[in-house]
Structure 1
Amino acid sequence: MAAAIDGPRVQAKSGKPRQLVIFLHGYGADGNDLIEIGRQWRSFLPDADFVAPHAPERCAMSPMGRQWFPLTMRDQTERWRGCIAARPTLDAFLDAELEKRGLDERALALVGFSQGTMMALHTGLRRRVAPRAIVGYSGVLVLGPDQPGGERPHQEPPPAVLLAHGEEDEMIPVEALMMSANALADMNVPTQWHLSAGLGHGIDNAGLIHGALFLAQSFGVRVDFSPRGR
């Protein structure tokens, strides 16, 4: 049985959710690390509920934080095995959150950072029906040891994907973005990407704006840039 997870929430600005955006935090953090983005994005997505669940495990390297799976950097397959092990917990959470709101899979978007991006891509590409969109910050598409080119997802339509990365990322080098984008293209998953000059392992304002506009476009939400609209 999958472990139960939960975390901080921001309700739709309109009061009636038509979309659901799930934030998946990085290694050693928790849901509080990303939920503020939901508050910033309410103006772009007024009909979206935002939820940032805490990962199911305590982090060995940061006892106050959480992890989706352990990272030792000593085993080349640990990311792959970790994603597989954590996926049932995340899938169960997504199913429950969608059902609670009476929303279908195409009302869902996943937004990850670092290890959360690994989970967003791994899980989102394997849902029975693809989420509408996946935004991955400072992460990488985890490929199986026997699937160097990536497995082809059986989703029609596939999710739209945006990958954003800092050019100076010291944790997950920027080459990971290019590898991920190429693998997704080979899998016929429509992918956009954004590079932030001078940025390390993090998210900057440009990346946040790109992410918000990408989700609005993916959901077909018109963004009003007038003072009244904002």
Structure 2
Amino acid sequence: MLDGPRLPPRSGRPAEALVVLLHGYGADGRDLIDLGRHWAPLLPGAAFVSPHAPEACAVAPVGRQWFGYVERNDAERWVGVQSAHAALDGFLDAELTRLGLPGSRLALVGFSQGTMMALHTGLRRAEAPAGLVGFSGIHVVPSERALPAFDAGITARPPVLLVHGDVDEVIPPAALPRAVESLSARGIAVRSQLSRGLGHGIDPDGLALAGRFLAEVLG
């Protein structure tokens, strides 16, 4: 069972929404939980949780991974998001049940490999989340032969915000227009920003944009 740091609603009242923060390869839940503190004034009724990914990272002794990332190609990513999906999906169900919230009051925020998971699992929820945010990530799709089954697996179409740096040295900036095209082709409303001068990270502009998006979809 996944677990990680949590923040209760700033309001001091029972949670009205849940924001789940999904870290990148080689980090853990502590890496993103401060995003919850940053956004809490905009989302006083939201609880935040940042689960540690299910596997120990092969290259970072204290880090975690959603899936192994050796070849860093599309085939490996596709196998990976499928392998980690059940653990994440079950964790989301458990957290919503714990807080007494419907799936429509959920938002997922991912960074890098966490974005891959947010998009894959968020689009396969039984009840559509309120929204998905992805920083510096990829919308993972399979080979063309497997696309019919891939499309059939999409059960939810929440609004999506994607932010990517134009000098990202880990995941090329070209991943952003590819994701926008892929999501749009599947009937998903997607907004995007290519951030000037940003590498593989999150900058203040992206933080502010994502905060406004979350406040809108969870408002």
TM range (shorter): over 0.9
Q: Are 2:3 and 1:6 equivalent residues in the alignment?
A: yes
Aligned AA for 1:170? E
- Conservation of the 8 A alpha-carbon contact between 2:161 and 2:190: yes
CA drift at 1:196: 1.1
Q: Which residue number corresponds to residue 151 of structure 1?
A: 151
Amino acid at match of 2:161: L
Whole-Å Cα distance in 1 between the matches of residues 141 and 78 of structure 2?
Answer: 7
Alpha-carbon deviations, 1:69-90, whole Å to 9, x = none? 0001265411101110100000
Name the TM-score, length of structure 2 as normaliser. 0.95
Change over 3 Å in CA distance of 1:13–1:71 after alignment to 2: same
Cα distance, 1:194 vs. partner? 1.1
Partner residue in 1 for 2:197: 198
Q: Distance in 2 between matches of 1:109 and 1:85?
A: 21
- Aligned mate of 2:75, from 74, 77, 101: 77
User: Cα deviation per residue 1:43-75 (whole Å; 9 max; x = unaligned)?
Assistant: 000000000000010000111100000001265
**4+ long deviations beyond 6 Å:** none
What are the equivalent positions in structure 2 for 1:59-98 lying under 5 Å apart? 59-73=57-71, 76-98=74-96
Verify the 8 A CA contact 2:74 2:142 in the aligned structure 1: no
State the alpha-carbon separation in 2 of the partners of residues 208 and 163 from structure 1: 11
Unaligned runs of 5+ residues in structure 1 are: 221-230
What's the counterpart of residue 228 of structure 1? Answer: none
Look up the match of 1:188: 187
User: Equivalents in 1 of 2:215, 2:202: separation in Å?
Assistant: 19
What are the equivalent positions in structure 2 for 1:10-21 lying under 5 Å apart? 10-15=7-12, 16-21=14-19
Aligned to 1:23, what secondary structure does the other structure show? strand
How far apart in 2 are the matches of 1:144 and 1:21?
28
Map residues 16-165 of structure 1 onto 2, 5 A cutoff: 16-73=14-71, 76-145=74-143, 146-147=145-146, 151=151, 153-155=154-156, 158-165=157-164
CA distance in 1: counterparts of 2:216 and 2:133, whole angstroms: 13
Aligned to 1:227: none
Deviation at 1:147, TM superposition (A): 4.5
Q: Please, which moves more after superposition, 87-96 or 138-147?
A: 138-147
Contact 2:22–2:118 (8 Å) recurs in 1: yes
**% same residue:** 52
Aligned length: 215
Output the TM-score relative to the length of structure 1: 0.90
* Gap change, CA 1:52 and 1:74, over 3 Å in 2: closer
The residue identity in structure 2 corresponding to 1:154 is T
CA separation in 2, counterparts of 1:114 and 1:38?
18
User: Is the 8 Å Cα contact of residues 20 and 109 (structure 2) preserved in structure 1?
Assistant: yes
